[in-house]
Amino acid sequence: MAEKFASWLSKVFGLNPAGLNWPRAVMILDVMLVPLVVFWSIGHEEYLVSALFGALFTALADPGGSYGQRVARKTEFAAIGAGLTALAFGIGGDAWGWLVLAAFAVTLVAGLAVMFGVRRFVMSLLLNIWFVVALALASGFHHQTHITSYTWAQTLAWVGGAAVWISATFITWLIRGRKDVPQPIAEIPGDTSRRKLTRPVIMFALIRALVMAGTIALAFGLNLSHGYWMPIAAIVAMRPSLEGTTLIAIQRVAGAVIGAAAAALLLLIPADEHGLRLLSITFGLEVVAIVFLMHAAGIRFWNYAVYYGAISAGVLILLDLPQPSNYGAEGYRVLWTLCGVAIGVLVMLLAGLLAKRATTAPQQPPADVPAQREATAGQDVVGGTVHRAAPGASAGQS
C-alpha cells in the first residue's frame, strides 16, 4: 500500500526539466508590472485585477504572424472581454439569480464556440474564466468590502491591460524590423477550422454551463462566506475534454490544496493590521501574487500540480486582499476550493465515463455508418482534438 501511494505521489509531482520556460515567465512579469505600478501610483488597486487579467489573457490570445492580423485578433478579443467585464460588474450587486443566469449563458456560449475551431474555443474559455472571476470580484465589492467600484472604470482597466500587451508587441515588432513573429504562447492551439455542433459537443457545453450555474447558486444563493472560491475552483478544474484522466484530476486537486493553503496563510499576514503597515503589507502581497503568476507561466510543463498551485495562489490572493482575514475565513476559503474542484472533476469524470460507454456501444448497421462517423467526429472535437491541445487549453484555464 505504501509503495503504491509513493508511486502515485511520484507521478503527481514528477518533474520535467525540459518544461521550464523562464523567458516566458519574465515576459509575463514585465507586462504585469505595468498595471501594478500604474494603479499603485493613482491609489486605486480595486481595478488592478481587471487590468492584470486583460494583459495576461490578451497575451495568451496573441496568434502571432503578421502584425495586422495580430492587432485585429487581439482587439476583437479585448472588445469581447470588455463587454463581459461590463456585464459582470454591472450585475455583481444584483440578486444572485441574475448571476446564475448570466454564468450559465456565458459558459454555454463559450462551450459552443468550438464550432468556430479549437483555438476560438480556448479563447472563449479564457473569457469564460475571466467572467466568473469578475462576478466574484464584483459581488465581493458590493456585499462584503463595500468598496466603490465603477463598472465603466473596471471595463476601462481591462481594456488598458489589453492595450499594454498590444503596445509591447508593437514595440517588439518595430525592434525586430517589422518582421512576422511566431505565436508567443506556442502551446495554444492554432486550429480555426469549423466544426459541426454534434450531440457530444452540445452535451459537453451544457454540462459545464450547469456546473457553473450550480456552484454560483450555492455560493451566492446561500451567501456562503468566501463562497465564490467554489465556482472559480470549479471552472478551472473542468478540462475542455470529456476524457478526464485520474492523474490530471489528482494533480488538479493537489494543486488546488497547495494554492489555497498558500493563499490562506499569506492572507493571514494583514489580519488585525491598520494604517500604513496594512498598506505596505497589501502592496507586498500584490507583488507576491504577481510572482506566483509569473512562476505559473514558467513552470506550466514542469509539473502540472505545482503550476496549478501557483496560479491558484496568485489569483486567490488578488481576489481576497480587500477581505478581512482570520483563521475561520481561511478555513472557508480552503473548504470551498476543495468543494469546487471536487464538483468540477467529478462531473467531468462522470461525463468521460458516459462518453466512453457511448463510443464502445455496439456498432450500427451499415446504413447508419455516416451518422455514427459524425457522432465520433463530434466526440473527437471535444475529447481527442482538444485533449491533444490540452497544454494550451490548460494554460488558458489558469
Q: So where are the chain's domains?
A: 18-364
At 124 the pLDDT is: 92
pLDDT in tens, 187-203: 777 777 888 888 878 88
| Angle (CA) 57 108 396, round 5° | 20
Model pLDDT, residue 118: 85
Task: Answer yes or no: is pLDDT of 11 > 50.
Answer: yes
Single out the residue of 310, 318, 345 nearest to residue 233, CA to CA. Answer: 345
Nearest to 118 by CA among 333, 387, 322: 387
For residue 47, pLDDT beyond 70? yes
| DSSP label of 65 | B
pLDDT band at 383 (very low <50, low <70, confident <90, very high): very low
Of 128-137, 208-217, 342-351, minimum mean pLDDT range: 342-351
User: One-letter amino acid identity for 117?
Assistant: G
| pLDDT exceeds cutoff 50 at 43 | yes
- 63-97: pLDDT as tens digits: 888 888 889 999 999 999 999 999 999 998 788 89
| Spatial CB neighbours of 139, under 8 Å, sequence gap ≥ 6 | 92, 93, 99, 220, 228
Cell digits of residue 316:
486567490
Angle at which helices 229-237 and 304-320 cross, to 10° = 150
* Residue 271 per-residue DSSP state: T
Among 9-18, 25-34, 76-85, whose mean pLDDT is lowest?
9-18
**Residue 374 pLDDT grade (very low, low, confident, very high; cuts 50, 70, 90):** very low
- Residue 65 has phi, psi (to 5 degrees) of 90, -150
Confidence at 304, pLDDT banded by 50, 70, 90? confident
Cα separation of 227 and 236, whole Å?
15
Checking if the pLDDT of 366 tops 50, the result is no
Taking CA atoms, 229 is separated from 68, 84, 132, in Å, by 39, 19, 10
The residues pairing with 312 across neighbouring beta strands, listed in sequence order, are none
Q: Position 146: which residue type? A: H
The answer to whether the predicted template modeling score (pTM) of the entire model surpasses 0.85 is: no
